[in-house]
Structure formats: C-alpha cells, structure tokens
C-alpha cells in the first residue's frame, strides 16, 4: 500500500519463526556498533596480536627467513608451546574485557532507561530470549577476538608441525576453546547485569573495570592483612588463570597462568574454589538480570 | 463458539500479601472496551497481567479463548500495546524503532519496514519519522507509541491512558485515530483511562474497577439505547395532575418535579408526538423536552458509590 493512503490495515502476511526473531536484536545491535568508528578500529586492531603470533609460527618453521637477515638459528629462540598459546589467549582476553566494557553497557541500559522493555516483552518474545539476544552480540564479538583466532593459530601450528603434534597437544585446543568460553560467558553476564542495574552507560562501563581491578585490589588487601590466600577469591583474573592452567595442562602444571591471568606460585587455592567462585559470580549476574529484566517492575 | 474477546475467570493478582486484582470475573465482548477506575484501582495491573508481565496468583484470563497462563506467547502475538509511560529508545529514529518492534512481533524484515512507514504516516508523524525519538514532543511520543502498537497488525489493541499529557488538538486527533481504528472493525480495542470522556467517545463496553474489584460492567450502547425512552419535560399548566394521570394511562412511568418538571419513561411503541397531542387536549404547554440519558459519569459515580457502600 502506498504511504499516502493513510488508513489502518491489518497484517495478513507470513510471520517469522522464533529463531529468526531471536536474531533481530543482534542484527540491530551490530548495525549500531558498526556506526562507531572507534569500536570498529578497536575491533580490527585486536587482530594485530594474533597476526604477530601467526608470523612467529611461520618464522619458527622457516629458518630461511632468519638466514636472510644473517640470524642463523634464531628460529630456535621461539617456542610454540603452552605458554605461547596461553599468552595469546591472555592478551586477547584482556582486549575482550575492554571491548565488553565499551559495548556491554550499551546493550540493556538504553532499554531500561527509556522503559522500552515493556514493549519488547509485550511481543511474542520472552525475557530469556531478550537476554540471549543481547548476550549474543557480546558472544559473537568476543568469540571472534579470543577462541577463533586461538584455534586458527593452533591449526596453523598443527599444519606446519604435523598431525602427531596436534594429537599430542590437543589439550591446547580444548583449553583455548573452553577457557575462552568461560571468560566470554563471565564478561557477557557481568556486562549485561551491570548495564541492567546502572542505567548510565559510562558508569556501567567503569564499573566493569571496577569489578575486575578494584575487587582484585580488595582481595590483595585481605591477603596482606589476614596473611591468607583466600582474598584471591575476589580476583577474577586469578580465578580464570587457575582454571586455564588446569584446562591447558591438567594436573602436570608447568606454568602458573597467562599474561594478565596468573595464579602466583605458592598462593594457589584449591581448583574447586576457583570453579565455585566463578559459578557464584555467574549466578549473581543471572539473579541481577532476572530482577531487572521485566516487562513491568513491581513495587511491593 | 465463545465470542468473548477477554474472559476474566476469577483472576486474582497479588504483590506480596497485597491483593491488587480480586477474583475478577467478566466476559468482555465489545469491539472497544473501556477500562475505567480511579488511580490505583488496578487498571494497569489488569493490562499487564493480560500481557503476561504479572503472574496471576489464582484464576486465569483468556484472550480470544487462549489462556494467558498456558498460551502467553500466542496471546502476546495477538496484542498491540501502547503503554502509559514513555517507552522508546531515545537514540533510535522513529521509523527504525517501529520497524524493530514489528520485526520482534514476527514480521519479516521488508514487511516490517513498509508497515513502520505506513504506521508513521497513519498517526500523522510521516514527516518526522527519521528523527531520533528522544527529540519528539510529548504528543509525538504518544503517536509514536500508537504507531509501534499497530504496526504489526494486532487483533487486540491495549491503550493505556492514550491521551496522557496531550493538549486539546492532540487529544482530539488521538481520539479520532482510535475511533477510526475501532470503526474499521479489524481489531478490538481496550482503552484504560481515568478520563471518562475518552472512554465515552471511544468505547462501547465499560469495565469499571475499584480497589481491585469490578465495580460495574456495562454495555454503553445498550445503555444509550435504553435511555432513549427517558424524557425530561418542562410544562406549564399541568399543576392539577390530570396531565400526569393521562401519561400514566398511556403506560408511562412518571415523576413530578418542581416548577412543572416531569420525568417520564416511555413504554415501547409510544411516540413522543402523542405527548404533544395529550398536552394540547389538556391545554398544557410543553416548553422544553430533553432526551435525558444516563451519562458515563452517572454510571461511574453510581459504581463508585456502590463500591463504597460495600
């Protein structure tokens, strides 16, 4: 119907499936994100580190490159081992924290600040679908920054080293995949939960950093004052680091974590404590989301 | 087949220990249903419960025969909702926001865009549809809320205080839009308001709530029809009572007021013309004749008094 015919008419066409509806929110969110030059540049810049890592893998397997510049045998100085992959994941995960702090708060807070939730949820669209839709934006972007380049590097190294190396070090791949997913899940839940409670975007972003760095400082203070290691339970990077070490190496530990995500030697807590603390953090975030993501807030 | 649009079946909603809606039971069948009541009567809670925002603590409700407890998603796919408060995403352009809402309601991308444009033109915001919603005036925001409520072509439209904060011309335009939508007959409307005039102009059925109870439920159309036989006349020369007796002989119910005022309820089949004939026969002058009708205000006040008496 032409727009000049200003009458109301019912809709009688086909409707989309609930799965396609779930993708509407991320599609709109990505359209908004790509409008921000800063975020686009930051996102693209986050691939510099994996690119450097790929070059290192290449030159490690091509001694001729060093021979050209007269540094024979320098390739032996580069070790492609657990530290290499874990450090790569550590760097990318730190960049993921920055990206989540930039884009996470913008996901839910504008909807809450303007009471738009009642309009979302007045449609055949549940609270879970809303949260999943918003979360998928972070899950996709952070995946592209963390485990996808990590697994590509692993595959590249495996391709150059051979099938035997891949089989021996398959734990690196599972460590990259599951380690990154744990981090992504925590980041996404935390970003959404904070943006649901703090409606002002910059404050929510700042609070993300606060949770990671201030809480770690608080934990360190507890450790210092009480002469204990239990303060590390407030240090998310410590918790993640200890879980990563287990995922990458099992019980035969040769490292104490990755860059930014280290569990200092001699200060280790039982592994189950790290898992439990991370699970509790996720549950708190889910509770915060369940309280705030409602069509109508009830004042009892 | 059940023809009710909304059926309330002992619907009770509690927030903590406080009962907000108390065992509501009614079957609403009108094309346009008004939900009236003073502030805090439970109007918005009823709408929110029907939308699935609040869980009934007991009882249930059915919309077009679908239970809101078991078919919440299906029910919501039939509804368009215009909330009372500002609800939008300030940074989004009007048409993009309505398109988003239409897509979430299940319209394919290209249809959603087309209908978002149409809805904006329909509510009279065609020229500003690319402006950010945050820059809209109050009246424009109300119209934009109506646009998002109708863009996906719902079968039932919930309008919560649709004329809130509008100036008289904007209010008239909003009422006109609601009447147009109602008269097309494609969808049912439920208007929640505390403004009697809005409801009177838009609705043919009214549910009046008070303290979470149904204080009154009436069909305005029937009410208007029955009141057509209710006359108030002002006479001169009828003080001896003969005129009243003659009216009663014709089957009228009568009541005499001061200064020659008489209230009459005419029986079926008796034309007003006959009154003039009898008056002429008895040398009585009918100086004024009003078709008095029970206004919605009368009905509302009566309902409030009844509620207080309870």
Chain B residue with Cα closest to A28: B100
Q: Does B110 touch chain A (CB under 8 A)?
A: no
Chain A residue with Cα closest to B116: A3
Spatial contact of A112 and A199, defined as CB atoms under 8 Å apart: yes
CA atoms within 13 A on the CB side of B101: 38
Distance of CA A7 to the CA centre of its chain: 48
Spatial contact of B191 and B145, defined as CB atoms under 8 Å apart: no
DSSP B133: G
CA distance A126 to chain B (A): 8
Strands B79-82 and B156-160: parallel
Spatial contact of B198 and B163, defined as CB atoms under 8 Å apart: yes
Chain A residue with Cα closest to B156: A10
- At B86-138, the pLDDT tens digits run 888 888 999 999 999 999 999 999 999 999 999 999 998 888 999 999 999 98
Helices A82-103, A48-60: crossing angle, 10 deg rounding: 170
**Would you call A122 and B91 a contact, using CB atoms and an 8 Å cutoff?**
no
Task: For residue B180, give the nearest of A8, A21, A296 by CB distance.
Answer: A8
Chain A residue with Cα closest to B71: A124
- Name which of B101, B104, B118, B160 to mutate to probe chain A: the one with the most chain A Cβ atoms within 10 A of its Cβ: B104
- A–B interface: beta-carbon pairs under 8 A: 118
**Would you call A3 and B121 a contact, using CB atoms and an 8 Å cutoff?**
yes
pLDDT string in tens for chain A (300-residue length): 455 556 778 888 899 998 889 999 999 999 988 888 999 999 999 999 999 999 999 988 887 777 777 777 676 777 888 999 999 999 999 999 999 999 988 888 888 888 899 999 999 988 999 999 999 999 999 999 999 999 999 999 999 999 999 999 999 999 999 999 999 999 999 999 999 988 788 888 888 888 888 888 898 899 889 888 888 899 999 999 999 999 998 888 888 777 788 877 777 889 999 999 999 999 999 999 999 898 776 655
Question: For chain B, what is the radius of gyration of the CA atoms?
Answer: 24
Q: Does B115 touch chain A (CB under 8 A)?
A: yes
Torsion, CA B153, CA A120, CA A294, CA B47, rounded to 10: -20
Q: Does B152 touch chain A (CB under 8 A)?
A: yes
DSSP B105: T
Chain B residue with Cα closest to A4: B121
CA distance A266 to chain B (A): 51
Task: For residue B103, give the nearest of A9, A13, A24 by CB distance.
Answer: A24
Helices A201-209, A82-103: crossing angle, 10 deg rounding: 160
Q: What is the predicted ipTM?
A: 0.84
- Name which of B106, B112, B143 to mutate to probe chain A: the one with the most chain A Cβ atoms within 10 A of its Cβ: B106
Torsion, CA B290, CA B293, CA B297, CA B300, rounded to 10: 150
Alpha-carbon distance of B274 to B10, in angstroms, equals 49
Cα separation of the two ends of chain A: 47
CA distance A127 to chain B (A): 10
CA distance A31 to chain B (A): 11
CA distance A274 to chain B (A): 37
């Amino acid at each position: 119907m032409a727009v000049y015919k200003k009458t109301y008419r019912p809709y009688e066409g086909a409707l989309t499936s609930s799965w396609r509806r779930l993708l509407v929110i991320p599609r709109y969110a990505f359209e908004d994100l790509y409008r921000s030059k800063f975020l686009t540049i930051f996102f693209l810049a986050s691939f510099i580190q994996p690119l450097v890592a790929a070059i290192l893998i290449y030159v490690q397997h091509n001694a001729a490159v060093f021979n050209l510049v007269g540094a024979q045998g320098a390739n032996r100085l580069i070790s492609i081992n657990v530290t290499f992959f874990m450090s790569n994941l550590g760097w990318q995960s730190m960049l993921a924290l920055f990206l989540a702090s930039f884009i996470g708060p913008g996901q839910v807070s504008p909807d809450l600040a303007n009471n738009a939730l009642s309009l979302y949820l007045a449609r055949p669209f549940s609270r879970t679908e809303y949260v999943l839709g918003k979360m998928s934006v972070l899950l996709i972007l952070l995946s592209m920054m963390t485990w996808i380049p990590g697994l590509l590097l692993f595959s590249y190294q495996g391709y150059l080293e051979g099938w035997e190396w891949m089989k021996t070090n398959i734990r690196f791949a599972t460590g990259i995949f599951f380690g990154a997913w744990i981090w992504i899940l925590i980041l996404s839940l935390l970003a959404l939960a904070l943006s649901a409670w703090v409606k002002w975007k910059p404050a929510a972003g700042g609070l993300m950093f606060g949770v990671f760095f201030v809480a770690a400082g608080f934990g360190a203070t507890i450790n210092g004052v009480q002469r204990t290691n239990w303060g590390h339970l407030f240090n998310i990077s410590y918790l993640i680091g200890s879980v990563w070490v287990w995922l990458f190496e099992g019980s035969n530990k040769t490292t104490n974590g990755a860059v930014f995500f280290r569990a200092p030697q001699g200060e280790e807590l039982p592994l189950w404590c790290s898992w439990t603390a991370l699970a509790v953090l996720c549950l708190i975030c889910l509770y915060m989301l369940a309280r705030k993501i409602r069509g109508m807030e009830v004042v009892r | 087949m059940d023809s009710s649009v909304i059926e309330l079946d002992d619907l009770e909603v509690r927030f903590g220990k406080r009962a907000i809606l108390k065992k509501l039971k009614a079957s609403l069948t009108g094309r346009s249903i008004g939900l009236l009541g003073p502030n805090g009567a439970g109007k918005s809670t009823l709408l929110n419960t029907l939308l699935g925002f609040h869980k009934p603590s007991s009882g249930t409700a059915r919309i077009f025969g679908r239970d809101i407890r078991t078919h919440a998603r299906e029910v919501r796919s039939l509804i368009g909702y215009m909330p009372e408060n500002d609800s939008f995403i300030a940074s989004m352009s009007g048409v993009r926001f309505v398109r988003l809402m239409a897509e979430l309601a299940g319209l394919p991308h290209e249809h959603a865009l087309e209908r978002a444009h149409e809805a904006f033109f329909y509510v009279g915001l065609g020229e500003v549809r690319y402006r950010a919603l945050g820059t809209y005036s109050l009246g424009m925001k109300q119209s934009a809320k109506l646009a998002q409520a109708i863009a996906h072509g719902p079968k039932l439209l919930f309008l919560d205080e649709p004329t809130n904060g509008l100036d008289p011309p904007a209010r008239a335009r909003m009422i006109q839009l609601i009447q147009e939508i109602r008269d097309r007959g494609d969808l049912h409307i439920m208007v929640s308001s505390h403004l009697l005039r809005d409801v009177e102009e838009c609705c043919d059925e009214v549910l009046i709530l008070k303290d979470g109870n149904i204080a009154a439920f009436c069909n305005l159309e029937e009410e208007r029809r029955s009141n057509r036989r209710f006359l108030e006349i002002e006479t001169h020369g009828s003080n001896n009572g003969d005129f009243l007796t003659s009216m009663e002989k014709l089957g009228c119910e009568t009541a005499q007021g001061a200064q020659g005022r008489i209230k009459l309820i005419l029986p079926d089949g008796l034309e007003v013309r006959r009154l003039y004939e009898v008056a002429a026969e008895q040398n009585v002058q009918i100086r004024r004749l009003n078709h008095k009708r029970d206004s919605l205000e009368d009905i509302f006040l009566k309902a409030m008094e009844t509620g207080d008496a309870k």
